[in-house]
Amino acid sequence: MSEIRHNWTKEEILAIYNKPFMELLYEAASVHRKHHDPNTVQVSTLLSIKTGGCPEDCGYCPQAARYHTDIEGNDLMTVQQVKAQALRAKESGSSRVCMGAAWRNVKDGAEFDQVLEMVRTINKLDMEVCCTLGMVTENQAKRLAEAGLYAYNHNLDTSEEYYKEVISTRGYEDRLQTIENVRKTNVTVCSGGIIGMGEKVADRAGMLVALATLNPQPESVPINALVAVEGTPLEDQQSVEIWEMIRMVATTRIVMPETQVRLSAGRTQMSREGQAMCFFAGANSIFAGDKLLTTPNPDVNEDMKMFEALGLNPQKPFTKKVQPQTVEAKDSEYQELGEKPKWTRPGHTIERNETAKKKAKLS
């Protein structure tokens, strides 16, 4: 029932997703218990180290410069600021810090060097370090690995077909290429998506096919529920029903048994009971802290109260994989190459993105 397979088809995944709810839940919980301690949940803190002003047109994202949202942009944080936040996250029970920068792709230079120093600094605090910085080349992935990066996040967002309805400034192939570049290092892969963007259930299954047929499968798969932010093209989307979220988590758990399934954005819209069902269905990671990059998230104390009520324990760092060694900048084997990779720019027109852009210009 729960061997790791890399040949999943969309039809098979849809059949799992659409099972009677109780059967789905039972099967997912059984797979979960076989591969993980069901009472342990990994806690990450997401830190926006460079907010807003992004040149991309992701329809769900308030950080895209072209849309009019209330996001206050900021330049890249200093290493000291990041260290202070990481220490605070550690004290409140997080084992991982995930640093996000609103960039299309990583560019060699002073800012990337600063991020590498942040990675070294947090790894030395004995916390898992994750980055989400946009597309990366193989050389950049190697430099991150050498600094002590534990995980790299690059979400597929949705199915390849529906992706074209959400984003026009970058291609699905580039996302897969970035994952492949990270795979050439010992950095683990974190890649998932968002439900509630107007996609069909078949698109959710399509995204899971793309992830589950990777070999190896991603070590971590975040499942986000869209937080519809005013000013973005998806501002009018209805929130997903809790049942959809649980079905998505359970299906992810069944097709990727070893993966850590992360309950990510959208938790503020879920009751504690709903979240408990997600944990039962196989979710075993959450993001802590009152903000997820720019969207609201439950308070850390609320999460700890929920853990207590459910008898859940935070996972210790480096439980799944040993801590990477940090190589200092002066001893690096990989210097910047100043690469100018040709990441694609499909540039097709997405009506609702265009409308949101026009509205922003008028405001």
Which residues are part of the catalytic machinery? 54, 58, 61, 98, 130, 190, 262
Instruction: Assess 128 for contact with ligand SF4 (CB under 6 A).
Output: no
| Residue 54 marked ligand-binding | yes
Among 28, 54, 151, 278, binds ligand SF4 (CB under 6 A): 54
Using CB under 6 A as the binding rule, whether residue 61 contacts ligand SF4 is answered as yes
When the beta carbons of 106 and 122 are compared against ligand SF4, the nearer one is 106
Q: Does 56 bind ligand SF4 (CB under 6 A)?
A: yes
Question: Among the candidate windows 28-36, 57-65, 305-313, 339-347, which touches ligand SF4 by CB under 6 A?
Answer: 57-65
Q: Which of 13, 28, 49, 58 binds ligand SF4 (CB under 6 A)?
A: 58
Q: Which residues contact 252 (CB under 8 A, 6 or more apart)?
A: 192, 208, 221, 223, 259, 261, 282
Query: By C-alpha distance, which of 340, 280, 284, 1 is closest to 140?
Result: 340
Does 64 help bind ligand SF4 (rule: CB under 6 A)?
A: yes
Considering the complex, what minimum distance in angstroms separates the CB of residue 226 from ligand SF4?
A: 12
Residue 91: partners with Cβ closer than 8 Å, 6 or more residues away: none
Question: What do you get for the CA distance between the two ends of the chain, in Å?
Answer: 55
For tokens 């329809």, what's the residue? 59
Q: Is 278 annotated as a binding residue?
A: no
Contact stretch for ligand SF4 (CB under 6 A) within 11-19, 51-59, 158-166, 265-273? 51-59
Beta bridge partners, 98, equal: 46, 130
Query: Could you tell me if residue 229 is left (phi over 0), alpha (psi between -120 and 50 degrees) or otherwise beta?
Result: beta
Residue 166 interacts with ligand SF4 (CB under 6 A): yes or no? no
Other C-beta atoms lying within 10 Å of the C-beta of residue 131: 29
Is 130 annotated for ligand binding? yes
- Pairing outcome for strands 291-292 and 283-288: unpaired
Tokens describing residue 137 = 């080349």
Q: Which residues are annotated as a binding site for [4Fe-4S] cluster?
A: 54, 58, 61
Q: Enumerate binding residues for ligand SF4 (CB under 6 A).
A: 54, 56, 58, 61, 63-64, 102, 134
Q: Which residues are annotated as a binding site?
A: 54, 58, 61, 98, 130, 190, 262
